[in-house]
Structure 1
Amino acid sequence: MTSDVSTPLNAIVDATAAAIAEDAARAQVVFRASGTPEGTVGSSISLGQYTIRIDEPPVLGGAGSAPNPVEAYLAALISCQVVTYRFWAQRLGIVVDDLTIEAEGDLDVRGFFGLDDTVRPGFGAVRVQVRLHGPETADRYRELQKAVDAHCPVLDLTTNPTPVTTTLITA
């Protein structure tokens, strides 16, 4: 997986650092998404040139034709962890031969359905399990985990409050 700890990821970090040193405004990036209803409770989400579909299982009113929103969140968390492990392994010169990440979250649907306002509508807990193998010591892999946990954007979205402003526009 990352047995070569030189480039290309380190080159990307170096080029980005140089561009930001030249103009700090280059550090700011805006990501956009938009969505429209599809089916009974599904959505079609546009992400630039990509479209993803989100649905719910039949027990929650959907057709089960696509992952549901919280599964999409778990996918985003896992994929961000994978990217961050790869970047930081190269930055720290840590060889990782194999990487597998699993995540699961506990959700009490009473919060979503408004059956109990004391229950959060989102995950009450999320567990991430990272399996990596390679020639490094356990201490080096713990160093890598610490760097990933400190720099993974989607993990940060979950572990730290993020201001969200919702604007309603009516016709």
Structure 2
Amino acid sequence: MSLVDTTLQDRLARRIEALRTARELKPGHPSVATETIRNYHTRATADGFVFDADEPVSKIGGTGTAPRPLRYFLAGFAFCLQAQYVRNAIRMGIELDHLSVDVESEIDRRGGLGLRDAPADFESIAYTTTLETDADADAVRDLAATAEDCCYVHGTLSKAVDLTGTTVLNGSPL
């Protein structure tokens, strides 16, 4: 059973065309509000949802009550990329039986501790997109390229860090 409702293809095409021909296409303004609960424990509100972040107990002041902040950052990238896979699978009429994105990263921990001259940053981010579909490899390559090109986080990260992606189709790397 497909994870993607390709019957939405016509509705999506009409929506994209309406936006393409709109007199003015206003910029989007994604936002989130956060507050500190205690020490590292923070709470965010976005789109009517509330979610927390924390550090593990092993960090002085952490209570381990929620995922660490950088995990949300990496998950945000994966979520954004997956949304583009779904949107473009609908647009292209590609049914997906499985879609997942795994993200790994490397950081120089000295940056977050103020122990180096350069600002804290990611050294690298690598991700693997795994798909199961009956679509042919060329269609999936096109889907992957389009999803990456349409993903705001992918576009931003690719300018800022060594970003490496792998696509796996039906158990084999493309």
- Cα RMSD between the aligned structures? 2.1
Deviations 1:33-72, CA, capped at 9 Å, x for gaps: 2111122112111214221111112233311111111100
TM-score by length of 2: 0.80
Contact 1:42 1:53 in 2 (8 A): yes
Answering whether residue 11 of structure 2 is matched by residue 21 of structure 1, we say no
TM-score by length of 1: 0.81
The gaps in structure 2 that reach 5 residues or longer are 161-174
Shift of residue 19, structure 1, vs aligned partner = 4.7
Which letter does structure 2 place at the counterpart of 1:6?
T
Matches within 5 A, 1:1-171: 1-2=2-3, 4-7=5-8, 10-19=10-19, 21-25=21-25, 27-61=26-60, 62-118=62-118, 120-160=119-159
The gaps in structure 1 that reach 5 residues or longer are 162-171
Which letter does structure 2 place at the counterpart of 1:59?
S
CA distance in 1 between counterparts of 2:81 and 2:10 reads 17
Shift of residue 4, structure 1, vs aligned partner = 4.5
Shift of residue 123, structure 1, vs aligned partner = 1.6
Q: Matched residues, percent identical?
A: 22
Contact 1:10 1:90 in 2 (8 A): no
Shift of residue 24, structure 1, vs aligned partner = 1.3
Contact 1:10 1:87 in 2 (8 A): no
Richer in strand (by share): 2
Aligned residues: 158
